[in-house]
Amino acid sequence: MRIFLCLLAMLFATPAAAEITVASKVFTENVILGEMARLAIAQGTDEPVRHRQELGGTRVVFDAAIAGEVDVYPAYTGTLRYQTLASERIESHGDLVAALASRGLRITEPIGFSNNYAIAMMPERAAELGVRTVSDLKDHPDLIWGVENEFLDRADGWRALKAAYGLPHGNVRGLLHDLGYRALASGETDLIDAYTTDPQIAQHDLVLLEDDLEHFPTYDAVYLYRDDLPSAAVSALEGLAGALDEAAMQEINGRAQFGGEDEGVLAAEVVSRVTGTAVEDDSAEAGLAARIWARTLEHLALVGIALGAAILIALPVGILAARLPRFGNLILGAVGILQTIPSLALFVILIPLLGIGFVPTIAALFVYSLLPIVRNVHSGLTNIPAALLDSADALGLSRRARLRRVELPLAAPTIMAGIKTAAVIAVGLATLGAIIGAGGYGQPILTGIRLASTPLILEGAIPAAALALVIQGLFDAAERWVTPRGLRLKQARS
């Protein structure tokens, strides 16, 4: 209980709203642009500012900005027009600004480069086939495409491209963006969708086919910010206009992705150059032990609060379900259905309702903890031999006394086993919380996947596995402790 209260105190001790929050999406270029925004605001204003790196995908950061949990994030005009606000069929830049304004959002002048879609081919292959433009592809119907999953469904994506050019190709595979380059290099695909600032383009000397029908829109990089952002911070962001052209961005992306250079240091370099004053990346990484410790606390807080709340709710619900068979079936069915919601979907569904970070993650973990506990409370209580309940009734025990003195002690080992299951599941699921900015062990795993860094992935995965084992051990001990001695004797004998 005391631990629980400590965790609760920690939760509410996190700094309050006055801070400016910059967020970034889960890819390197966006993280660097986020760092640039953080450093520029820190240098140009007195406001405290933090950067929630790799907060989530476009949907997560956009919703978080509307909800006021995020003040600034690096966005692309094309993404806003054709993905985020696609249903509004925005015709011009002016319409986009108006559509954002109606949501309390604004965008800065372009940062100076656009990160467009382009169709890429290996140079040898392009030369061999004599392909130079997208239209040229019509003469080669056997070519294999490998495109990012998101590109398959976008308003300006595969289907639209195919229709616009009348492409004959039928062999299209969905891939992770970074894997597309590997597939291209190994000859498994002939064509991929590239982003024009991807460093792999220069690395492999790829040919970008000319978009001769001008199908792809422009994806100018801008900062999206809330209209209540202090004006000094807005000026700092506007000061970054024109800071980077495509070549510069591609080079910096390459240094981060292939050279292993720190995003903060790279961002500081750009901001120093643009503002003419030396800016240092002050977000020096804490040591490994301190990092793991901080994440352990975050992770424990997530699991502890969610599990505590689940126990408080699931115990009485389970008791009620055991008492009233019809209601019991209904309840077990309902929590069973909740359990089948895919966890990633639940995390994302909860954002509009609860925002990002701790609270929705706890809510999701709470939901998944309900079933094992309710089910075990129910089965623990309904499996008590009828003769014992008769004895209790014949003694004259009231329903409440029977529950407290006889039923709960007899069901205790089963109930504890349910809580243990819920706890172990929650420790594993909590790593997904990093996707919506809850921190914990999922954070280094997420970064590790982005940078293809196995050590970083292990920095999250090993403690997560260890914590699951520790929790399992603790609950095994607790299970023995709550099992009445008389029941242990019986188990030993039978």
Partner 1 sequence: MVERLSAPSETRCECKLSRRFGRSLARLRVAQTPGIGFAPPVFSLNNVSVRYGETVALRPVSLDVRPGATLVLIGPSGSGKTTLLRVLAGLVAPEGEVRFDGEVVTDWRGVRRRLGYVVQDGGLFPHLTARENVALMSHELGRDRAETEARIEELADLTHLNRAQLDRYPAELSGGQKQRVGIVRALMLEPDVLLLDEPLSALDPIIRAELAKELKTIIETLGTTVVLVTHSLSEAQFFSDRLVLMRGGSVVQEGSYEEFERAPADPFVTQFIEAETLL
Which own/partner contact pairs does 482-485 have at CB distance under 8 Å and 24+ positions apart?
A: 482/412, 482/413, 482/415, 482/416, 483/412, 483/413, 483/416, 484/409, 484/410, 484/412
How many angstroms separate the CA atoms of 469 and 466, rounded?
5
The least distance separating partner 1 from the CB of residue 414, rounded to whole angstroms, comes to: 13
At closest approach, how far in Å is the CB of 492 from partner 1? 8
Place of tokens 């009233």: 324
Q: Which two tokens stand for residue 423?
A: 């706890």
Biggest CA–CA distance in the chain, Å, is 94
Is 114 strand, coil or helix?
Answer: strand
Nearer to partner 1, 352 or 484 (CB): 484
Contact 100, 225 (CB under 8 A): no
Rounded-to-integer distance, Cα 117 and Cα 240, Å: 23
Give the span between the Cα atoms of 483 and 478, in whole angstroms: 9
Comparison of 94 and 385: residue with beta carbon closer to partner 1: 385
Contact between 205 and 127 (Cβ < 8 Å) = no
Distance CA 448, CA 260 (A): 12
Pick 166 or 385: Cβ nearer partner 1 = 385
Q: Give which of 249, 116, 118 is closest to 180, Cα–Cα.
A: 118
| Cβ proximity to partner 1, 127 vs 388, nearer residue | 388
Q: How far does Cα 9 stand from its chain's mean position?
A: 25
CB-wise, 248 or 389, nearer to partner 1? 389
Distances (CA, A) of 110 to 21, 26, 37, 237, 289: 20, 21, 13, 10, 40
- Give the CA-trace dihedral at 91, 94, 99, 103, to 10 degrees: 160
Nearer to partner 1, 138 or 480 (CB): 480
Asked if 229 and 178 touch (Cβ cutoff 8 Å), the reply is no
Minimal distance, residue 478 CB to partner 1, in Å: 17
Q: Which is nearer to partner 1, 280 or 390 (CB)?
A: 390
Q: How far is the CB of 262 from partner 1 (least distance, A)?
A: 60
Quote the tokens at residue 98.
């108006």
CB of 399 to partner 1, least distance (A): 10
The sign of the dihedral angle between the CA atoms of 289, 292, 298, 299 is: negative
Report the residue number, 260 or 486, with the smaller CB distance to partner 1.
486
Angular region, 439: left φ>0, alpha ψ -120 to 50, beta rest: left
Q: How far is the CB of 324 from partner 1 (least distance, A)?
A: 18
Dihedral of CA atoms 105, 109, 114, 116 in degrees, nearest 10, equals 30
Closest to 150 (Cα-Cα) out of 210, 116, 203, 193: 193
Smallest distance from partner 1 to CB 330, Å: 22
Q: How far is the CB of 297 from partner 1 (least distance, A)?
A: 37
- β-sheet bridge partners, residue 370: none
Q: For residues 208 and 384, which CB has a smaller minimum distance to partner 1 in the complex?
A: 384
Using an 8 Å Cβ cutoff, are 460 and 445 in contact? yes
Contacts with partner 1 by CB under 8 A lie at 387-388, 390-398, 401, 405-406, 409-410, 484-487, 489-490, 493
Report, in Å, the least distance between residue 485 CB and partner 1.
7
Q: Which is nearer to partner 1, 455 or 484 (CB)?
A: 484
> CB-wise, 273 or 490, nearer to partner 1?
490
Tell the smallest beta-carbon distance from residue 412 to partner 1 (Å).
8
Nearest approach in angstroms of CB 415 to partner 1 is 14
**3-state SS string for 125-158:** HHHHHCCCECHHHHHCCCCCEEEEHHHHHCCCCH
**Cβ at position 394, least distance to partner 1 in Å:** 4
Q: Quick one: CA torsion of 36, 41, 42, 48, rounded to 10 degrees?
A: -120
Task: Give the shortest CB-486-to-partner 1 separation in angstroms.
Answer: 4
Please identify, using beta-carbon distances, which residue of 138 and 488 lies nearer to partner 1: 488
Q: Considering beta carbons, is residue 111 or 392 the nearer one to partner 1?
A: 392
Tell me if 195 sits within 8 A of 44, measured CB to CB.
no
For residues 247 and 199, what is the distance between their CA atoms, to the nearest angstrom? 9
Q: Which helix (H) or strand (E) holds 75?
A: strand 72-76
